[in-house]
């Protein structure tokens, strides 16, 4: 991915030099081996700090919400779909963003990798599809394809949907047998099993709201869980209050979620938050033939009405 880094730096450097944008939002290497963190370069010099590798997991569309500056942004397939959604929902104007599109071969799952080691990781070096990971106790060479994030394994758009400049050649779109296998597994359970499955899923939630805050869709000025007059949800560690948060947050993402995985990435407790939203991606696809963020001229399905909308649930 080094060639991406080089290209991104040169595009970003030129944009900043020519004053075409106020800042370039991309990723910078953090203080830990597997942390490429959101970063805003404002000068040509800072543009040299930009990187791109398989740990660029946060969704950068999240940093565009309601900004007034002229911004260039590094966008993988999923980020670009969220930028489309942002433009459609009037959170940013198309002519305000200069999109540096990055065809993406998937991001790796930090948890899958760390689970192979007893101690903290100290080094993470990529060489094509091979990754060398070192920890305090051992070194291991792994294949990237074996450690991709779940959301990357079922990604339908690795290439950017819209862009102003590309940082590399398009990658081949994968053929998938069934991207909703994880949802179907749950659908095949009986109601009691499903309820205990989700109860167990959110049992360890500490309500840090990392999932919500990492999500580009969650831009409400006041989230329903923070509302105090009226207060919709209790604030304690009550099981039902926690479930209510996850359930309603997910529903607010119906027809808008791009399955970028930022929510799961942010969760300190490793909760598979996508188990909620993935069902909605499936429903949107089946009921409305809809995939989020592919077309600037279409509004999300729950935002529009068509006489053809399915209506057999109502009588």
Partner 1 sequence: MNLVKIDKNGFKQGIDRARKEYRLFGPAKGKEGHTIRHLDTDEYPDMTYNDSVLSAKSVLFPQTEKMLYTTFDESEPDHHIMKRAQADYSPQAVVGIKPFDAKALEILHLNFDNGDYRDPYFCDALEATTLVGIAVNSPGSCDFSTSTGTGPFDESALDILLVDTGDQYYAKIITDKGQSFAETCGFEEAADEKAATDEINALKEKAENAVTSEIQYENIAEKSIVELYNAPLWDDIAFSCINCGTCTFVCPTCWCFDIQDESKGNSCTRMRNWDTCMSPLFTLHASGHNPRGEKTSRVRQRFMHKLKYFLDKYDQGIMCVGCGRCVKQCPVNIDIREVCNKLNAYEEKA
Partner 2 sequence: MGNLLEHIGIERERIHFSWISSAEATKFVDVVKEITDKVRSLGPNEKFKKIYN
| Positions in the binding site for partner 1 (CB under 8 A) | 30-32, 35, 37-40, 58, 62-63, 118-122, 136, 204, 206-210, 212-214, 226, 234-238, 265-266, 268-271
**What's the closest the beta carbon of residue 54 comes to partner 2, in angstroms?**
31
Give which of partner 1, partner 2, none residue 105 binds (C-beta under 5 to 8 Å, depending on kind).
none
Q: What is the DSSP letter of 49?
A: T
As a whole number of angstroms, the distance between CA 310 and CA 275 comes to 24
Q: What is the DSSP letter of 239?
A: H
Only one residue has tokens 């700090």, namely 49
Q: Specify the residue, 141 or 206, whose C-beta has the smaller distance to partner 1.
A: 206
As a whole number of angstroms, the distance between CA 262 and CA 283 comes to 21
**What's the closest the beta carbon of residue 54 comes to partner 1, in angstroms?**
16
Q: Specify the residue, 10 or 122, whose C-beta has the smaller distance to partner 1.
A: 122
What is the three-class DSSP state of 132? Answer: strand
Q: Specify the residue, 76 or 246, whose C-beta has the smaller distance to partner 2.
A: 246
Give which of partner 1, partner 2, none residue 185 binds (C-beta under 5 to 8 Å, depending on kind).
none
34 lines the binding site for partner 2 (CB under 8 A): no
250 lines the binding site for partner 2 (CB under 8 A): yes
As a whole number of angstroms, the distance between CA 173 and CA 117 comes to 32
Give which of partner 2, partner 1, none residue 43 binds (C-beta under 5 to 8 Å, depending on kind).
none
Give which of partner 2, partner 1, none residue 247 binds (C-beta under 5 to 8 Å, depending on kind).
partner 2
As a whole number of angstroms, the distance between CA 29 and CA 76 comes to 17
Cis ω for the linkage preceding 238 (within 30 of 0)? no
Selected binder of partner 2 within 116, 123, 176, 197 (CB under 8 A): 197
Give which of partner 1, partner 2, none residue 89 binds (C-beta under 5 to 8 Å, depending on kind).
none
Give which of partner 1, partner 2, none residue 197 binds (C-beta under 5 to 8 Å, depending on kind).
partner 2
Q: Which residues, at least 6 apart from 133, have a Cβ–Cβ distance to it below 8 Å?
A: 33, 113, 116, 117, 121, 123, 124, 125, 139, 140, 141, 142
**What's the closest the beta carbon of residue 212 comes to partner 2, in angstroms?**
17
What is the three-class DSSP state of 283? Answer: helix
195 lines the binding site for partner 2 (CB under 8 A): yes
Q: Specify the residue, 131 or 214, whose C-beta has the smaller distance to partner 1.
A: 214
Task: Name the residue among 301, 298, 272 with its Cα closest to residue 285.
Answer: 301
Beta-ladder partners of 140: 133
Q: Specify the residue, 89 or 226, whose C-beta has the smaller distance to partner 1.
A: 226
**Do 197 and 186 meet the contact criterion of CB atoms below 8 Å apart?**
yes
Task: Name the residue among 276, 151, 258, 253 with its Cα closest to residue 201.
Answer: 276
Give which of partner 2, partner 1, none residue 224 binds (C-beta under 5 to 8 Å, depending on kind).
none
**What is the Rg, in whole angstroms, of the alpha carbon atoms belonging to the chain?**
20
Phi, psi of 42 (to 5 degrees): -110, -15
310 lines the binding site for partner 2 (CB under 8 A): no
Selected binder of partner 2 within 35, 121, 156, 186 (CB under 8 A): 186
List residues binding partner 2 (CB under 8 A).
183, 186-187, 191-198, 234, 238-241, 243-244, 247, 250-251, 254, 276, 279-280, 283, 313-315
């Amino acid at each position: 991915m080094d060639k991406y880094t080089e290209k991104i730096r040169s595009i970003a450097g030129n944009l900043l030099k020519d004053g075409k944008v106020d800042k370039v939002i991309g990723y910078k290497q953090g203080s830990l081996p597997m942390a490429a963190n959101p970063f805003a370069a404002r000068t040509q010099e800072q543009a040299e700090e930009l990187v791109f590798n398989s740990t660029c997991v946060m969704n950068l569309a999240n940093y565009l919400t309601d900004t007034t500056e002229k911004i260039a942004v590094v966008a993988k397939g999923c980020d670009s779909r969220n930028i489309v959604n942002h433009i459609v929902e009037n959170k940013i104007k198309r002519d305000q963003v200069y999109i540096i599109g990055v065809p993406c071969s998937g991001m790796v799952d930090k948890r899958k990798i760390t689970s192979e080691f007893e101690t903290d990781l100290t080094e993470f070096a990529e060489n094509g599809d091979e990754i060398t990971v070192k920890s305090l106790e051992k070194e291991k060479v792994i294949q990237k394809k074996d450690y991709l994030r779940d959301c990357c394994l079922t990604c339908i758009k690795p290439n950017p949907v819209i862009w102003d400049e590309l940082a590399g050649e398009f990658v081949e779109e994968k053929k998938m047998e069934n991207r909703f296998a994880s949802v179907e597994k749950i659908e095949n359970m009986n109601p009691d099993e499903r309820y205990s499955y989700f109860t167990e899923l959110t049992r360890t939630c500490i309500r840090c709201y990392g999932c919500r805050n990492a999500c580009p869709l969650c831009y409400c000025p006041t989230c329903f869980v923070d509302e105090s007059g009226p207060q919709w949800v209790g604030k304690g560690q009550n099981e039902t209050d926690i479930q209510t948060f996850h359930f309603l947050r997910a529903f607010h993402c119906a027809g808008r979620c791009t399955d970028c995985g930022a929510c799961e990435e942010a969760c300190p407790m490793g909760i598979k938050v996508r188990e909620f939203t993935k069902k909605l991606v499936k429903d949107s696809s089946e009921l409305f033939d809809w995939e989020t963020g592919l077309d600037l001229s279409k509004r999300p399905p729950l935002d529009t009405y068509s006489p053809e909308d399915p209506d057999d649930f109502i009588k």
